[in-house]
Chain A
Amino acid sequence: MSVATFIVPLVGWLLAPLLPGVINRVKAKFAGRRGQPLFQLYFDLWKLLRKGAVYSHTVSWIFWTAPSAGCAAILTASLLMPLGGTPALLALPGDIILFAGLLGLARFFTVLAALDTGSSFEGMGSSREVFIAALAEPALLLSLAAIARKITQYSLSEILPALSLWDWLQSTPALALATAALFIVLLAENCRIPVDDPTTHLELTMIHEAMVLDHGGPDLAFILYSASLKLWLMGSLLASLLVPVHAGHWALDLAIAIVGVFGVGVIVGVVESCLARLRMPIILQLLVGASTMAAVALILLLR
């Protein structure tokens, strides 16, 4: 276990709030605006951490423990994700499942906290969240299984560093389909357009944002931070797939991978700028489509 394995999660923890900034900057450029500062989320977090809090009369302990617990789950998940050829701190065969489980745990807490407020908007948001998550889950695991089959390993820290350009040349269609499916999962899991609109102003059209309407102060800071970290983790997964470059030195590899993660952020920004939020029935088709793409990728690799 080298220094590098400790640096990977640290890099994620420090740089994650920058990723939404990059996405917003790309969206602003597309819209012809100057956009908010790149470091806006850092300022927001700092501001929120210095605030007090307002709680509803309705809520119970679930509501005020959920943000910390959700953040803890995502932080734990960050120890499973390798980056730039450096294996993760907690690498084991099947960490794919643990990763999905920890994301599920964080979601479970968010949904319960939303239902705890007794608000119809938050109820609606949580209902839609679990619906989308249930459809995204098979797509996530199937596409990871496709990539796992390519490398014949099933640990994230074995698969992602082992993936090379040669693998891409060998089975381009399969890997492209799996990556596309993972990208859709990234959009769905992180509440991005076209699945969810984080910037909408109408509670009825929100999904994730509607669930956290009642949180404030440090709790909201935890929620925003864990959302950005989750985006970072899914981003690093995609970056490792899309930029399978091995330069030779871990620091250089890590630097390339970090650029890759922000590159994924740019792609997300472009997608968000070019698309509108889809209607619920279409989201459904999108997610089932993602599962189908992953399944097709697997069939291609089964030959």
Chain B
Amino acid sequence: MILILLALAIIVGSGFLSLLRGKQVRSASWIGVTGVWLGSVLILYAAGSVLFKGGMESWRREITIPGGALSLYLDSLSAFFLFPILILSSLAAWYGTGYLKPSKKNLGVHWFFYNLLVASMVTIVLAHNAILFLMAWEAMTLASFFLVTFDQEKETVREAGWIYLVASHLGTGCLFIFFLLIGAQHDSLEFERSNATANGGIFLLALIGFGTKAGLMPLHVWLPEAHPAAPSHVSALMSGVMIKTGIYGLLRACELCGSLPAWVAWVVLGMGMASGILGILFALSQHNLKRLLAYSSVENMGIIAIGLGLGLLGISHHVPGLAMLGFLACLAHIINHASYKGLLFLCAGATGHATGTLDMNLLGGLLKRMPWTGATFAAGAAAICGLPPFNGFISEFLIFAGAFRAGTTSNGEVAILCLAVIAGLAFIGGLAVAAFAKAFGTTFLGEPRSEYARQGHEVEVSMRWPIVLLASLCLILGITGPLLVPKLFPVVSGLTGYSQEIFQRELGPLMAVLPKITLASLVFFAFFAVCFALRRWLLLGRVVEQNTTWGCGYLRPDARIQYTASSFTQPFGDLFHWVLRTQRWMAAPSGFFPKPTSFRSETPDLCQGHLYHPAFLRLNWGLSKLRWLQHGKVQLYVLYIAAVLMILLVWKLAV
């Protein structure tokens, strides 16, 4: 544990040093990044020994806050979360040095908050005391707020920052109540595993609080605002791992609450399905690349929640096979989503960096101009669609396997929910292919649609390496994933309490044949090599010409005749108009000599427009009635405080 404390000190300390270097762009960046790398290596060493060798580490110091203690605890679940957090933080930081190079701003501040964010995420997964946890949680929120508002001179960025801050704090408010109620039950604010039967209502508070951070529908409103506004390595970090701390919180909350009633599984599954289906539908309708990715994060958090929901369902109905597969899928998807969403955000950042826009309707043909970024984006897109042989497939396979298994052998609500999950996940998968075919196709394929795209060029080495590493990680995890899944069992065992024997009895046969998926991936590559070699050999020495694309005999094709992002998603927009409410502006051609025509479509967020905006307007109206309380006279404010204290005192004495 001393190693981890040292590493945390290095990360935060290098952040401070970087703050002092301030204006010296190069040295500020390098100090910050070196700190993150050094700290990550040390922590991962400690986490690795816990995850692979078993055991746990703890460290505790009393502090003067009532109920609080600096209590850190490294068990298999914490160790598991440390891996995606630190690997992605290090890679994103490396990328950030290149990404921020042209910036004229004070980068010391940026790296200070970046390192603070990394350190607070590490503290969150290690904290074993509610007060420490909430302190780290708040530090994470504030640090990420300042990172999001890096380009604060833009009004949209400031607004996105505020939405993020407000949403986060509403969530944190629920967490305060949650931890107080749990603390009252346990008689201590230390995290203790409970075996009692929990009140589902308390868990609902955790679901709202952590769900806001995780971006589950309908609490997701801050994601599509904050992710596009932030610098890309920050969006990658936030979307790749920071929102996963919400899932970490939920998993811990399950531990703290004890055995949960069955309806909680319904709620989690419902939120997961809603996030998955609506998230990917909204992703499909976006034309800003980073906004699309943000909504796709909502979708993937939905898939993680589906895994968690199946796990809870299995536990509450005593179907251990389903429970273990659900939790395994949840954990596997956390790793997978961190790798490919980090990758995709970094690629999107590189695209924006090189072209100056993220509007897909203005891009196109970038694969030739940015070969590395394009190829890695293609890998990330295939991975996020859950296609073999990439890693996204493995976690979706686990969910499907759990659902098929329980759906074919169980009865009652377990079977019904599992079959709903099969249908929902299949639909999500199909829509994801559409969304990412659109994202990759309109950005990287075809002809450039504007001057922005024409000036695209490959980014520098420090931005290229992290994305190449992440793309290889997606592929390697996809191929070796089936072999690694059983290794995650100790984490699941810690969460569910199932022993190794139950695991072997229930899932042993399935785990024994999982390597066949690896075999199938290798067979795919072998077939591909054969087909591709055959094609090369056949074309050797034959006439291979170049010509224009076939346009029904039209010989002067233009970039403008291409299908755009808007047109690609038009069938989906029509079918799901009742939920997407896509707005369209069209100046149609008319008359014998048509004037220039135009078409534009936009899909604003449903929840924000129809739920939160009106609700906050009402709230504002109601609270404005109380404005007379606030008049700027400090003496009266002190009087208010004194009066409240008096009332509390009298109440305490009277009760």
- Residue numbers of A with Cβ under 8 A of B are 49-62, 64-65, 67-69, 71-73, 75-76, 79-80, 90-94, 96-98, 100-102, 104-105, 107-108, 111-112, 115-124, 126-128, 130-131, 133-138, 140-142, 145, 148-149, 151-154, 203, 213-214, 217-219, 222, 280, 284, 291, 295, 298, 302
Contact = CB atoms under 8 A, between A and B. Distances in A.
Nearest to A48: B538
Interface string B413-442: 001100100111011011101100100111
A105 B563 contact: no
Contacts of A51: 542
A80 B524 CA distance: 12
A112 B431 CA distance: 15
Interface in B379-431: 382, 385-388, 393, 396-397, 400-401, 404-405, 407-409, 411, 415-416, 419, 422-424, 426-427, 429-431
B106 interface: no
Contacts of B385: 104, 108
Interface stretch (B78-86, B90-98, B547-555): B547-555
A72 B539 contact: no
Given A57-B546, A101-B388, A118-B446, A302 B404 contact: no
Interface of B: 364-365, 367-368, 374, 378, 382, 385-388, 393, 396-397, 400-401, 404-405, 407-409, 411, 415-416, 419, 422-424, 426-427, 429-431, 433-434, 437, 440-442, 445-447, 509-510, 513-514, 516-517, 519-520, 523-525, 527-528, 530-532, 534-535, 538-539, 542-552, 557, 559, 561-563, 567-572, 575
A269 B510 CA distance: 40
A128 B423 contact: no
Given A76-B520, A79-B523, A127-B567, A108 B437 contact: yes
Contacts of B531: 67-69, 71-72, 75, 222
A79 B434 contact: no
A152 B409 contact: yes
A64 B532 CA distance: 9
9 contacts: A60-B374, A62-B378, A68-B532, A90-B520, A101-B388, A117-B549, A145-B404, A214-B550, A302-B415
Contacts of B429: 100, 104, 137
Nearest to A55: B546
Nearest to A142: B423
A41 B547 CA distance: 27
Chain B interface main SS type: helix
A115 B437 contact: yes
Given A76-B527, A115-B441, A217-B539, A92 B423 contact: no
Contacts of A126: 437, 441, 563, 568
A127 B550 contact: no
Contact of A72 (B364, B368, B524): B524
Contacts of B378: 62, 112
B51 to A, nearest CB: 26
B433 A92 contact: no
A127 B548 contact: no
Interface centre among B364, B427, B519 (most CB of A within 10 A): B427
Interface centre among B378, B409, B419 (most CB of A within 10 A): B419
B441 A92 contact: no
Given A101-B387, A152-B408, A60 B562 contact: no
Contacts of A67: 531, 535
Contact of A116 (B405, B445, B572): B445
Contacts of B365: 58, 118
Given A53-B539, A101-B388, A119-B562, A111 B437 contact: yes
Nearest to B528: A72
Nearest to A128: B571
A202 B429 CA distance: 31
Given A115-B437, A119-B557, A138-B426, A218 B552 contact: no
Nearest to B569: A127
Nearest to B571: A131
Top-4 shortest CB links A-B: A123-B563, A134-B430, A115-B441, A118-B446
A284 B577 CA distance: 14
B516 A92 contact: yes
